[in-house]
Structure 1
Amino acid sequence: MTHIQLFNGGISRRSLLKAGTVALAMPAVLRPAFAQEKFVAKIAHTEGVGTPITEAFEKWAQVLNERSEGRIDAQHFPAAQLGGLSELLEGSRIGTIQATTAGPDSEEAIAPEIAAFGGAPGFIYTDEAHVDRVLQGELGQQASQIAREKTGVEFVAYAETGFRHVLSKEPVTALADLEGVKIRVPELRIWVDFWELLGASPTPLPYSEQYSALSTGIIDALDSDVFSILGFKWYEQAKHLTLTGHWFLPKAVRVNAAWLDGLPEDLQTLVRESAKEVFAEQRATNRAEASAALEELKGLGVEVHELSQEELARMKELTAPLFEEFSSKSPETAEMIEKIRALG
């Protein structure tokens, strides 16, 4: 027999060795094809570090990573690390980021009928129980469906930063003190209209520019929840806080719908259910810790003022025309505002 002697019916030793070498190499070649697909989830927003909402997003990212066993790679970028609010909103719509948060009022131009869910046009929510009746019920689900259809995002849950108050360099103890005050507002028409009716001078600015704008005198005041005032240290530039509670700002947890639809069904369920779980805890934490945050601000030298009931009633009266104006945007908007107020 020669060196090419056949065994087991015709396979040569050389052929067998070659086949073995190929077989050993096959796992390395095929492994990528059988590896679990990983889905990157960039979660980016403008909320301050250390605030309850930012801590909730950090927890949500961890939950997604752990419960998906690494199939979702959730990456958390707080405090405008990936851009300002307008950039993040656009990113969530086109899918360059997978999740962000903003008030539903940010949809004013595209879907005015759901902008009212974000507190527009002021004094629409009577208290936190009213917020829950609206957002945690049928209307909240309806807002999410409208957002999906018109903006390409799904509201998988609702977080919140709470009631907004006025932080200013000079005391505001009556409406007359707002006359001509340069107050920062988001780059949305409804906010400009609100403060103009109260005699202030609204100044639209990106969220991330408020500290420098206070320090340079571009603005004299801003309105915010107490946690953001702490987190962004705006109290270093303005030492007077007036408890107006004029605007309650829920934050929709916005997920790009195309990305969500592209996940396996079990991961879609994980994203939705974990968001509801984590941000239900966030809402409870936000409400429980608001008083402590206010006391912390006092300890940092912030003087807290309250408007009289007469002055608050006057604020509501002066801004009431916005309901009619906002309702005129479409029959759907008028209907939604009526439904929200009816649950108050």
Structure 2
Amino acid sequence: MPTINRRQYIKGVGAASSVALAGCSGENQGSGSGDGGSGDGGSEQDGASTSNAGGTTYELNVATAYKLGTTEEYPVMQQAFKENVEEASDGRISVKLHPNGVLGAGTELAEKVQTGTVEAAQFSFSNFSPYASAVDLVNLPYFAGTNQQFVNLVTSDAWENNVHNNVRENGFEPLFYLVIDPRAIGVGKGKDAVLTPEDMAGFKHRIPGSQILEEAWKMVGANPTPIAWGETPSAIEEGVADSLHVSIEAFVTFGFSDLVSHITRTQMVEDAQVYAMNEKWYSDLPSDLQSAVDDASEKTFQDNLNQVPKSRENSMAKLEEAGVEVHDLSDSQLQKWKDKAGYQRSEWDSWKKKLAGDMETFKKLEQAKEQKSDFEVPN
């Protein structure tokens, strides 16, 4: 997408995600699965937003739940964002990274950005749903389950009008999304691969606290089991849960490589996140520095899209090394999942109206996900 006026540009590129849903998962936590951060790592001292006496230099504090270096297997892009902002602003905006959850994760970070305690942060874009319910449409099975559909949607005028305008009024300036990958079903050790909905019959399937996802997994015959993200590894290991649903990259990043035996890529729901800035802090910048932030956000979004295949490849290698079998569905198998739980089913009609406001708005968002964005997602 060419660099244009911010209010036009942000119609989409402004993840989890990561988690994203969460990014699109419906849980307001730190990863694109809408869940917590990863490991230990470097951090930088917290500091308030400052400018020099002449008003020409600004310190931008950016907080994430992830350690530096996570991008290799989970495309968080925090170092790239720092470099892109500082380059685009000719050093007039100095970015200080606060990784590894040192300032919080998920909902806590979103609240700090909203209040201006932290200038910018990365978190699950499900944190926008209290202000723009259309965000949760991404949780509907197969509504925007591929990377390209998700990018088409969040870079559309329909998304701008029904999501971004609302979140700006509530203190957020969306910067760009983190695309991770579609979520996949992972099953615990000793269990057979899940290839069709029938294979999930009776499975205790881990879900976040999301009514949409609870209904979705019931539709495919599973037993949806709400489990906090931090308790999920032990739940899988101990058999409290038989399966979970996160991206390929998240299985590696969050330590599930040694806990699952099979992963099946069902392309049901996208894993994505968002970087957002305090709206007032952004608005108070001089116009040329607003443009610098816009340009840096657009570049980091493109960097993220280019990084996704590399992070996926690195994650697949780690899974193979751990003895995990990854399965892709045939067209007929995929169609069974869509027929069983896809958003086209009448059971979802009440949700479409509730989240979009009315069916006319839903139709606009539905069309938007199929209209090719200027951003093309590499395979």
Larger radius of gyration: 1
Q: CA deviation at 1:324?
A: 0.8
Preserved contact between residue 60 and residue 278 of structure 1 (Cα < 8 Å) = yes
| Alpha-carbon distance in 2 for matches of 1:314, 1:75 | 48
Deviations 1:183-222 (A, max 9, x none): 3333333222222222223334454443344334443321
Which residue is 1:214 aligned to? 236
Select the residue among 83, 91, 107 that pairs with 1:62.
Answer: 83
2:164: which partner in 1? 144
Q: Closer, same or farther in 2 for the Cα pair 1:330/1:161, shift >3 Å?
A: closer
What is the Cα deviation at residue 342 of structure 1? 2.1
Q: How does 1:147-162 map to 2 (within 5 A)?
A: 147-149=167-169, 151-162=170-181
Decide which of 60, 66, 79 is 1:40's aligned counterpart.
60
Equivalent residue letter for 2:223: S
Q: 1:248 aligns with which of 225, 246, 270?
A: 270
Structure 2 equivalent of residue 28 of structure 1: none
Q: Is 1:234 aligned with 2:256?
A: yes
1:260 partner amino acid: Y
CA contact (8 A) 1:244 1:306 kept: yes
Moved more, 152-161 or 212-221: 212-221
Please give the root-mean-square deviation of Cα atoms over the aligned residues, in Å. 3.0
Q: 1:114 aligns with which of 121, 135, 139?
A: 135
Q: Is the 8 A contact 1:155 1:252 kept in 2?
A: yes
Is 1:263 the counterpart of 2:290? The answer is no
Q: Which amino acid aligns with 1:338?
A: K
Alpha-carbon deviations, 1:311-335, whole Å to 9, x = none?
4323223323453132131563533
Aligned partner (choices 171, 183, 199) of residue 164 of structure 1 = 183
Q: CA 1:265–1:114 in 2, change beyond 3 Å: closer, same or farther?
A: same
Q: Tell me the alpha carbon deviations over residues 147-196 of structure 1, each in whole angstroms, 9 at most, x when there is no partner.
A: 212x3212222220111101110222332332332333333332222222
**Matching of residue 95 in structure 1 with residue 120 in structure 2:** no
- Kindly indicate whether the alpha-carbon contact (under 8 Å) linking 1:113 and 1:333 is maintained by their aligned counterparts in 2: no
Provide the residue aligned with 2:353 in structure 1.
328
* Structure 2 Cα separation of the partners of residues 124 and 333 of structure 1: 16
Distance 1:41 1:342, change over 3 A: same
**Is the CA contact 1:144–1:156 (under 8 Å) kept in the aligned structure 2?**
no
- Does the Cα contact within 8 Å between 2:179 and 2:271 map onto a contact in 1? yes
Q: For 2:260, what is the secondary structure of its paired residue?
A: coil
**Between 174-183 and 221-230, the greater mean CA deviation after superposition:** 174-183
Q: Distance in 1 between matches of 2:205 and 2:146?
A: 24
| Unaligned stretches of 5+ residues in structure 2 | 1-51, 371-379
Aligned residues: 310
CA contact (8 A) 1:52 1:282 kept: no
1:342 alignment partner AA: Q
Distance 1:256 1:35 in 2: 18
3-state SS of 1:125 partner: coil
Q: Distance in 2 between matches of 1:122 and 1:105?
A: 16
What is the percent sequence identity of the aligned residues? Answer: 22
Q: Distance in 2 between matches of 1:41 and 1:63?
A: 14
Contact preservation (8 Å) 1:50, 1:231: no
The runs of 4+ residues in structure 1 deviating greater than 6 Å are: none
Quick one: structure 1 residues 331 and 114, their matched pair in 2 at CA, closer, same or farther if it must change by over 3 Å? closer
| Other-structure match for 1:85 | 106
* 1:284–1:208 Cα change, 3 Å: farther
Distance 1:80 1:288 in 2: 24
Are residue 278 (structure 1) and residue 300 (structure 2) matched?
Answer: yes
User: Letter of the aligned partner of 1:156 in structure 2?
Assistant: L
Deviation (angstroms), 1:270? 1.6
Distance 1:202-1:42 versus aligned 2 partners, 3 A rule:
same
1:125 and 2:144 matched:
yes
Deviations 1:270-303 (A, max 9, x none): 2222011111121122146535533442232101
What amino acid does structure 2 have at the position aligned with 1:147? V
More displaced 10-residue stretch of structure 1: 181-190 or 253-262: 181-190
Q: Distance in 2 between matches of 1:282 and 1:192?
A: 30
CA contact (8 A) 1:162 1:287 kept: no
Q: Quick one: distance in 2 between partners of 1:335 and 1:250?
A: 26
What residue identity is the alignment partner of 1:121?
L
Q: How far has the Cα of 1:105 moved from its partner?
A: 4.0
Partner in structure 2 of residue 185 of structure 1: 207
Structure 1: runs of 5+ lacking an equivalent:
1-31
